[in-house]
Amino acid sequence: MLVLDDLMIDGLKIAQDDTLYRFTSDAVLLSHFASRKKGDIVADFCSGSGIVGINYYLLDKTPKLVDLIEIQKPLADLSQKTVDMNNLGGVFTVLNQSVQSLGDEYNEKYTLVLCNPPYKKKNSGEQNLSEHIAVCRHEVKITQEEIVSTAARVLKRGGRLAMCQRVERLTDLIVSMRNNSLEPVKLQFICTTEKNPPYLFLIEAVKGVKPQLKVLKEKVNK
């Protein structure tokens, strides 16, 4: 069933479907965490209903272009509905395809890639999920390594990759980033209370720079 959720910015709405995967606070945290540069050309990988890319744009409306890339057609259609009903078509393009299938014409196109990826490896965790939910939560259609390597290919030199991920995958993600000439420059852990250990991290890497990691203060997400 179609649901229109309030984006809490300028009275705009985002289209959701309560039978499909709906965004969580992780996506909102990522859109606020990613660094901002006027005139950014942005790709939102595994964009779902478009929340990360759309919210990132609406925070200050400085990005020049935003591509929402989503393999699942029902979710891509929701993104298109949100773009259309909020009159964002001059900035946003919805691409209903896999991230890995981006052609050579996308090489070094973007200054920023955003990604709220599937958190779990294939065949791990809860298995009795609908196909739509499984693709969003598990690496069924794309792996973390494929996300990073494709981001490295489509980013300009000095471009940024901003992601969120579960803490147990931090080491693997940093190794993957460095193997693809993406240097982590900003890291923040997220916890549910000040007494609980982090369950999530936000990370940003830059293409082709020297080591300069800055760890931000932990953030509580209640």
Q: pLDDT tens digits for 143-160?
A: 999 999 999 999 999 999
Copy the structure tokens of residue 33: 């965490």
Give every CB contact of residue 108 below 8 A, 6+ residues apart in sequence: 153, 154, 155, 156, 157, 159
Report, as an integer, the average pLDDT of 190-211: 96
Residue 32 has pLDDT above 70, yes or no: yes
How sure is the predictor about 191, in pLDDT bands with cuts at 50, 70 and 90? very high
* Of the candidate ranges 9-13, 92-96, 201-205, 215-219, the one whose mean pLDDT is the lowest: 9-13
Domain that holds residue 78: 2-220
How far apart CA 148 and CA 193 sit, in angstroms, is 30
Q: How many domains does the chain have?
A: 1
- CA angle in degrees (0–180, nearest 5) for 61-113-201: 100
Contact 108, 155 (CB under 8 A): yes
How far apart CA 221 and CA 216 sit, in angstroms, is 15
Residue 125 has pLDDT above 70, yes or no: no
CATH number at residue 79: 3.40.50.150
Residue-wise pLDDT for 36-50, tens only, equals 999 999 999 999 999
How far apart CA 86 and CA 12 sit, in angstroms, is 6
Residue 128 has pLDDT above 60, yes or no: no
Share of the chain above pLDDT 90, in %: 79
How far apart CA 198 and CA 188 sit, in angstroms, is 10
Single out the residue of 163, 172, 161 nearest to residue 200, CA to CA. 163
Give every CB contact of residue 41 below 8 A, 6+ residues apart in sequence: 63, 64, 65, 109, 110, 111, 112
pTM: 0.95
Give every CB contact of residue 186 below 8 A, 6+ residues apart in sequence: 33, 35, 202, 203, 204, 213, 214, 216
Residue 126 has pLDDT above 80, yes or no: no
